[in-house]
Amino acid sequence: MFRSLVAALILLAAPAYAEAQKLVPQSRAEVGLSFAPVVKKAAPAVVNVYAQRIERQARNPIFDDPIFQRFFGQHPGNQTAQSLGSGVIVDASGLVVTNHHVIEGMTSVKVALADRRELPAEIVLRDPRSDLAILRIKSDDKNFPVLEMGDSDAIEVGDLALAIGDPFGVGQTVTQGIVSALARTQIGISDYGFFIQTDAAINPGNSGGALVDMNARLIGINSAIFSQSGGSVGIGFAIPVNMVKNVVAAAKNGGKEVRRPWLGASLQNLTRELAESLGLDRPAGAVVTEVFPRGPAEEGGLKQGDVIVAVDGQEAADAGGVGYRLGAKALEGTASLSVRRDGKSLVVPLALIAAPERPARETIRIKGDSPFSGVTVVNISPATVEEFSIANAKEGVAVVDVEDNSPAAVVGFKKGDIIVSVNGGKIAATRDLDRAAAQQPYVWRLTINRGGQVITSVIGG
């Protein structure tokens, strides 16, 4: 009798609890309900993305000889590099969000809609730091179906989720799962490594597609999987929609890049040993290792040794979490950093301003006959350090691009290399390198800083 009474009370209380919390299935019948209404609302706004570029091949005149063609056939000529992914329409005018890696290096893009229309699109914004990009569909139609953006900070582990995209190019596909984990960092996919993990099947071609909740709202952009076989093993990662919102807003405002708040400090993950030495009960947070002069951190009163544990009340378990929380915010106004200092808790205000470009970047692509031919370099500043993820540098000249098959690529230059000196001459600005590269010495003696390691090479002339 007692057990029956308890069961009855639980059943009576269940509707009120479900209304206040999350709605969960209460019977076998409810478990058997279909996801079709959610899919019908969300799927029309998910598109397939086809990107390509023409790779021009060096052509030998002998290939045009009629005798050569008679015996060996036509020379294939230029080759086409292609990429396949998915995207999400987020504005009725035809703005589409996809992954940057889907369109990276590509020059021509088209999208296929759920209604089978295929339309050309232009790339309006690339944001490699978040692995996001914005396309605009070229069409007179300004009433495209749109997927409403939700709030990724409101989702919880265990929530149901649907992944919609074009895996392996088979056509639009829907898979179902749950939110397996939140705030996954150190995945190594982008600078803002802070992902929603899901067991909804995600496969190659799903990149850029939608992760939606049960209200058919976008909660993430599917971006990567953990797999040893190349197929889904139930561990997929999506970029939270709250990061997506900033990128979309920048595109709508005509921006070609996303400007984000600058902390003005270096951070380190809090290890167990470090937490114990600082008198903390658990290794959750990010330790401030350096505060830059005249930056927002210094202005707000942040100090070396402080441990940041939250941003505007949202927990930040490590340096990646702090970076994401700030990176998802718009410029202007202030944020509140929850900090532990000398065993005490305090709040530090942080002005949400962009990193300054001092000195000006003065971008130069080196040409001519030198080991540097094919590199693009910029002057190092807080802004370029942030934009290009330049490590271990406060001043000097950094490589931000290396042209394929160029002399610089053959020598082995990489993005992020800091050029310290050429033939004994210090390289303090991009113009210094441009002048040095124009010389014709018998040998080249180069010194670079790669990730904190100083490398000196001698190249014969």
With beta carbons less than 8 A apart as the criterion, state whether 262 and 382 touch: yes
Residue written as tokens 């050569």?
68
Quote the tokens at residue 444: 């080249």
With beta carbons less than 8 A apart as the criterion, state whether 55 and 79 touch: yes
Phi then psi dihedrals of residue 318, to 5 deg: -160, -175
- Rounded Cα–Cα distance for residues 38 and 312 (Å): 32
- Rounded Cα–Cα distance for residues 98 and 221 (Å): 7
Q: Is 205 annotated as a binding residue?
A: yes
Q: Which residues contact 160 (CB under 8 A, 6 or more apart)?
A: 176, 177, 178, 213, 214
With beta carbons less than 8 A apart as the criterion, state whether 51 and 108 touch: yes
**DSSP letters of 109-168?**
EEEE-TTS-EEEEEEEEEETTTTEEEEEE-SS------PPB--TTS--TT-EEEEEE-GG
With beta carbons less than 8 A apart as the criterion, state whether 127 and 258 touch: yes
Quote the tokens at residue 317: 């378990």
With beta carbons less than 8 A apart as the criterion, state whether 362 and 377 touch: no
- Rounded Cα–Cα distance for residues 73 and 75 (Å): 7
Q: Is 141 annotated as a binding residue?
A: no
- Rounded Cα–Cα distance for residues 266 and 243 (Å): 21
With beta carbons less than 8 A apart as the criterion, state whether 277 and 227 touch: no
Residues serving a catalytic function are 101, 131, 207
- The residues with which 53 forms a beta bridge, in sequence order, are 81
Q: Which among 83, 121, 132 has a CA at the least distance from the CA of 105?
A: 83
Find how far residue 79's CA is from the centre of its chain: 29
With beta carbons less than 8 A apart as the criterion, state whether 366 and 372 touch: yes
Q: Is 301 annotated as a binding residue?
A: no
- Rounded Cα–Cα distance for residues 305 and 267 (Å): 10
Q: Check whether the bond before 204 is cis (ω within 30° of 0).
A: no
- Binding-site residues from annotation for substrate: 101, 131, 205-207
